[in-house]
Structure formats: structure tokens, C-alpha cells
Structure 1
Amino acid sequence: MSYQAEKQLVRDFYAALDAAPPDRINDTLTRVMAADALWRGFHPFGELIGPDAMADTFWTPLRQSLTRMQRRQDIFFAGRNEMDGFASTWVVSMGHLMGLFDLPWLGIAPTGKMVFLRYCEFNRVADGKIVETAMYFDIPHLMMQAGLNPFPPQTAAHLVQPGPLTHDGLLFDDAPEAEGQATLAAINAMIGDLGTWQLGLPLEEELARTWHDDMIWWGPAGIGATYTIERYAKQHSAPFRAAFKDRSKTTHIARLAEGAYGGFFGWPNFTALHTGGFMGMPASDKRGEMRVIDIYRRDGDKLAENWIFIDLLHFWKGLGVDILDRMARVPRT
């Protein structure tokens, strides 16, 4: 099974988009995207329809603020979507958009220095056009680079996150189909164990069923990155599970893999009631929505690395805390 046409379309799109001046972004998007293409982005953007809305609301303001932008990809792959019976083809790109933070963006004061916006993008390609996109990005990570502290001290490490240990994440050529099937099987085994946090095993034993002991969990700003099963359990997984109850069933819009890489996204992935303590915040009687992208690297029959994008701004706003508005009114330290 070849994904070369879809991959080349997205690669050409990125080259044109990254080279286009801000006042020509609308034209660039219109050439590649369907007129009614659906774009999903993290708060405050939400769902946008059509190239003009994407350009005017997201891409043009971002490019005006982060000048001399470079796309620094770490992972690139394609595959058929398990969620629709492997009918649709998606192309996935993950990395950083790096630029000089020269003008305000979303009320965040510029620094005049280089900043990195972590991103991951799923593009559904059909009939030679991009017809659907999920582009998730870590705005709190950019805030922290700009000297703001949007959350209480996090449990794991704050880093500009590197790509895969193996430096083989850019699958411009198609990988053997059996490798992608093995990766998808490993991801599905992990999802099956995760369930609703009721497998019945001690947490570290549960994790060891599907993760290597030296796993790395590259979490979003506000939570952070953590290394090894023992530290991941201590620094994120156990506190996270303890802070929620009544978790809904997990749902995904797309889940796919190619070679040793795979991932998924939902809108939302799940909902849960916050009983208190997550990221130092108080309990709420409202259900919180977790909009998440997860990208994985498989090594053998287990998972080795995981890059996570969580719309924490949307999650907390739904529980009554507008982090973006609060940070836009705080002077940079």
C-alpha cells in the first residue's frame, strides 16, 4: 500500500505555506484544501471551516507574530484510519514551528527572541485535496518560553522536546506494511489495558505490559516530560488517575500507524470529573473535556516513546479557569 501521493501533497503544501508571505497564505491554503475543509485547533481556535477562516484566524496572525518561521519536523508518516474501517488516508506531521517572537499573539507579549511552538497535525487527504485537519499545539509551552507561568509547578520536566531517540521518524518513503500493523497492535494493546483505569494490576505492572522500562513520556507544558516507567507512574500517571473519577469511554476520530510510528486524536478523547489536585487546581462538579493527540514510537513489541498534546486551555476554561485571559494580563517576568 503506497501513501506517496498523499505524502507528497502534504510535503508540497508545507513547503508552499512556509515560504508564503503572510498576505499570500489564503491563496496557498486555497490551492491545497477543499473549500469546506474542517480544521480543528486548540483553544481559542476550535473548529474552522474553509481555507479563508484558517488563514485569517490562525495562520496569518501566527506568521505575523513569529517572524522568519521554520518548520522543524521530527516525525512524518501516513496510514489508513482504523476508526473508519481503514477507509480514509491521513498524513501526520509532528515537530516545532520556530520563529522570532516579534509581535503579540493571543495577548501574549513578544520577546524578540526565538520561540518554539510544539505542534502535531493530522491531515486527511481525499481526491487530491486536504479535506480535514487536526492541528494541536502547546500554547502554554510558548507562554513559558515568553517568561509566563500559566500553571503551578509541574510534576515533571519542562523542556523543548527533541524528536525520537532513533532519529528515524521522517517516513518520506513508505515503510513495510507489517511494521505499521505491529505498531498499531502495540498502541491498541496499551489502549485496551488503559480502559477506564480498572485493569486491576498495580500501576507499574500494568504499564510494563505494553511499555519498555526506559519509556519516555513527552508531556505538555503544565505536566512535563518524564523518563522510565517508575518515574512516569510517580510524576504523572498515578497523580493524574487519582485526580479524576467517572472517566468516559475513550473515543478517537483517527488512529493509524506506519513503520514504528503511530498515533491518534479525539475531539474530545474522553471526559472525566476532576476531584481535585490535577496541576494544583481545585475540584469541579463539571465534566472536563480532554482533547488529545498521542504519537508513539514502538521498539520491538512494546512502546518506547510518547509525545502528548493536550488542550489544557480548553480543559480548564470548561471548568471555569481562563488561563489564556489570565496570562495575557500578567507582565512577563
Structure 2
Amino acid sequence: MMSFQKEKRLVRALYSALERASPNRIGHVLSEFMATDALWRGFHPFDELTGAEAVAEQFWKPLRLSLSRMQRRQDIFFAGKNEIDGFTGTWVVSMGHLMGLFDRPWLGIAPTGKMVFLRYCEFNRIENERIAETAMYFDIPHLMMQAGLNPFPPQTAAHLVQPGPLTHDGLLFDDALDAEGQATLATINAMIGDLGTWQSGLPLEEELAQSWTDDMVWWGPAGIGATYTIERYAKQHSGPFRAAFKDRSKTRHLARLAEGHYGGFFGWPNFTARHSGGFMGMPGSDRPGEMRVIDIYRRDGKKLAENWIFIDLLHFWKTQGVDILKRTVAIADS
């Protein structure tokens, strides 16, 4: 059985040290775990940062100062070899919420003094016992909505603070059997083959049924929402989404891996597509838009049962000429 204990311990030690550190010590803590030239990718407005000090000063320190008494509440934790680079690189994945008391402004969003949850998913590539690369994706519109802002038109599915897996077994601190991870990765790849082009020729619900259990749950980002069962997923997201886009590029992932019954991938971007109109109630555009996405999956038997999705909708709409974050904060301040 392949062991990822060294890599998992490194990431867990970082999380523990971050939780104990004062905001002014975060840069020092990160420098103990990150390579000097580590690349960090985050959702808009952070984008790409290099090195521990930049990540601390631009992302972690402001967030910690805004969300006092912050806790990392993990729902999923696993590791694996990256299929995209020929199973050479090792990545550790964490998903859940960063919870705190929203006591100071963040990104221009006014504080509430109440609990808020920032949905996140983080991929860390470990090399030479250091974090060499990170994808840290987080749902800023979800936090905005908890703070009473409405960045988007009414969404097609449900807005929720999202729970972890139905089975409550997503924290793989111990290593799982290789065969289980291989089965999960094969199931994810079959789904990508079915859905990645939107051109299977089958009716949508029949196409989805090839890869998904009938009682699937799609935990989508704020602005789209969460939906339950193949029928409602087709009606509340997948069908409208496909109808609103054309000229989709091929899927491009930077990492794709699995362990046990859990797996996922991310891209930068995953694909581009041209919005012909209607997605999230917004007008169309002639410009191709970038979709930066993380997908995390839980497999049940031979099919996928749950899917947690992180889409940088702020970046996507900015590529379409609309700065949602700036516009929403400005309206709230007026």
C-alpha cells in the first residue's frame, strides 16, 4: 500500500501551526513549511502569489484579522499521486470551512459581528518535505451572502452552508487501500469522458445516470447553489448551464488524484467557454470566459454520489467585463 503519511503530517502540522499563530506570525509559520519560490493560486482578487510572505500579507493575515477566533473545520482530507504528471507529484487535499466571527471588513465587505463560514478547498503539492505549490480556492460570494449582500441574481438551486459527506468518513488521516483510490479515479475519469464534451448524444438525465447515483448531491458554489437527485441537478444546473454556453474548450487539469472513496481535480483554468446568455441570469458576451474550478467527489460503489464544487465566479464574470465584488461592495456602501 502506498503511504502518504509524511506528506499528510506536514500539511496537518502547518494547519495546527497556523491556528496557533498570531496574525503577525503567519508569514514566519508559512516560511517553515513552504518552499522559497512556492506558487500559490487563489480565487479573485488574489490570483497568483509567490512565496510565504506574499501569501501571508495578502491573504492569510487580512483574513485572520477580519475573522477573529477562526477555526478550520475540515470535512475531507486525502492525498494521492497526480495522474496529470504521470503519477509523479504528491498532493494533499483539504476541504471544509474556515469559520470565525466577522469582526472587521474583508475585501470591502462590511463585518456583521456574527459567525460566518468561508467554504474552501486546498490542494498542496509536497516536494522535498516542503509545500511547493498550492491551489487555495474559496467561495467569497458565499461569505458575502452570509453578510447580507446579494452579489448575483436569484440562483437556480439552494443556498446552504454545506455539510461534509453523508458517510462522515472523509478525513483520511490514515492511508486508504490503493485499489479503492484507483477505483475512484477510474470513476472520475469515466465521468469526465461522459460529460467533458457535452456531446454524448444521450438525453441529459441518461448521460448523467452513467456516472452518478440517482440520489446524487451536487454541492455547487453560491450564485448557483446545491441540488439533489439527477432529475433536479439536470433541471437546476446542468441543463441551464450547458444551454448558456458554446465553444467550450477541452478540459485542462493541473492535478487529478484520488484516495479511498474520495478524489478530485483542479485547473487554472479548467476550461474556457463563450457565454451566450442566461447563466445566473446574466447577459451574454462575445468574450470567452475562464472557469477556474475545483471538484471533489465521493464514490459509492461504481458511481459518484456527492460532488463539492468551487468555481471562481468573481473571476469568470470579470473576464466578461463585470466586477461583481467591486460592484456589490460599492452598492452596499452607497
What's 2:295 paired with? 294
What's 2:180 paired with? 179
Measured in 2, the distance between the counterparts of 1:305 and 1:69 equals 27
What's 2:216 paired with? 215
Counterpart residue identity of residue 200, structure 1: G
Residue by residue, what CA displacement relative to the aligned partner does 1:101-133 show, whole Å, maximum 9, x if unpaired?
000000000000000000000000011100000
Residue by residue, what CA displacement relative to the aligned partner does 1:210-231 show, whole Å, maximum 9, x if unpaired?
1000000000000000000000
What's 1:29 paired with? 30
Residue by residue, what CA displacement relative to the aligned partner does 1:125-173 show, whole Å, maximum 9, x if unpaired?
0111000000000000000000000000000000000000000000000
Task: Report whether the alignment pairs 1:138 with 2:131.
Answer: no
- Aligned residue for 1:316, secondary structure, equals helix
Measured in 1, the distance between the counterparts of 2:105 and 2:199 equals 45
1:330 Cα deviation after fit: 2.5
Task: Report whether the alignment pairs 1:164 with 2:160.
Answer: no
1:15 Cα deviation after fit: 0.2
1:318 Cα deviation after fit: 0.6
Measured in 2, the distance between the counterparts of 1:325 and 1:66 equals 20
Task: Report whether the alignment pairs 1:305 with 2:306.
Answer: yes
- Aligned residue for 1:103, secondary structure, equals coil
What's 1:235 paired with? 236
Measured in 1, the distance between the counterparts of 2:328 and 2:18 equals 30
What's 1:103 paired with? 104
Counterpart residue identity of residue 132, structure 2: V
Measured in 2, the distance between the counterparts of 1:26 and 1:170 equals 27
**What is the alpha-carbon root mean square deviation over aligned residues?**
0.9
Measured in 1, the distance between the counterparts of 2:327 and 2:16 equals 36
Measured in 2, the distance between the counterparts of 1:225 and 1:18 equals 29
What's 2:276 paired with? 275
Measured in 2, the distance between the counterparts of 1:255 and 1:332 equals 41
What's 1:17 paired with? 18
What's 1:2 paired with? 3
Residue by residue, what CA displacement relative to the aligned partner does 1:70-120 show, whole Å, maximum 9, x if unpaired?
000000000000000000000000000000000000000000000000000
Residue by residue, what CA displacement relative to the aligned partner does 1:234-261 show, whole Å, maximum 9, x if unpaired?
0000000000001000010000000000
What's 2:323 paired with? 322
- Aligned residue for 1:329, secondary structure, equals helix
1:36 Cα deviation after fit: 0.2
Q: Which runs of 4+ in 1 moved over 3 A?
A: none
Counterpart residue identity of residue 241, structure 2: F
What's 1:196 paired with? 197
Measured in 1, the distance between the counterparts of 2:112 and 2:53 equals 29
Counterpart residue identity of residue 318, structure 1: T
Measured in 2, the distance between the counterparts of 1:76 and 1:332 equals 39
Asked if the contact 1:147/1:332 (under 8 Å) is kept, the reply is no
Counterpart residue identity of residue 120, structure 2: Y
1:329 Cα deviation after fit: 1.3
Measured in 1, the distance between the counterparts of 2:67 and 2:124 equals 23
- Aligned residue for 2:331, secondary structure, equals coil
- Aligned residue for 1:143, secondary structure, equals helix
1:331 Cα deviation after fit: 2.5
What's 1:122 paired with? 123
1:332 Cα deviation after fit: 7.8
Residue by residue, what CA displacement relative to the aligned partner does 1:164-212 show, whole Å, maximum 9, x if unpaired?
0000000000000000000000000000001211010000000000100
What's 1:50 paired with? 51
What's 1:68 paired with? 69
Measured in 1, the distance between the counterparts of 2:37 and 2:137 equals 20
Once the two structures are aligned, what percentage of the paired residues are identical? Answer: 80
User: Tell me, which stretches of 5 or more residues in structure 2 are unaligned?
Assistant: none
TM-score (norm: length of structure 1)? 0.99
Residue by residue, what CA displacement relative to the aligned partner does 1:256-281 show, whole Å, maximum 9, x if unpaired?
00000000000000000000000000
- Aligned residue for 2:332, secondary structure, equals coil
Measured in 2, the distance between the counterparts of 1:60 and 1:331 equals 24
